[in-house]
Amino acid sequence: MKKSEKIDLDILTSLSNLRNLLKNIKSKWLKIENSDGFYFYESATSLELVLDQIEYRFKNSQFSNDTEIVEDSLSILPAIVSVLEAIQLYEINEDSINKVLRRTRVLDIQAYDTNLIEPLDITIKHIDMNNVKRMLKAIKTQKI
């Protein structure tokens, strides 16, 4: 990723591949009827938002001399992998829900600490209200 103080942008291809994987994961979670799938879908969305900021910082690193993006990205990589593992299980139970919530929280904290999370006003723009309404309707109609 880093070559003699100049940032190697080959990482953008890997980020694109990861985005495609997340798109497929989110699509699968949307097809699951259990409303608890919302936790996993939103975890994938949270990861996507972190990737947005990583990509943004890498693309702009050549203009802003942001060489810290390499170290920041490497430091958060274990949290990214951890969330990816949790959201790809496609198994909904109390343990898997708690696991995905814990792992996503760790990711969010680390992303905040490394400036790899977007400001709240930008994050809000990413919310798909149709999806939220669909999930809330599913929760409302679910028999408890």
The 10s digit of each residue's pLDDT in 53-99 is 999 999 888 888 788 988 999 999 999 999 999 999 888 999 999 99
Q: Angle between the 68-87 and 11-31 helix axes, to the nearest 10 degrees?
A: 30
Tell me: pLDDT of 18 over 70. yes
Which pLDDT value is given to residue 123? 65
pLDDT averaged over the chain? 86
Helix (H) or strand (E) holding 6: strand 6-7
Closest by alpha carbon to 41, among 17, 23, 19? Answer: 23
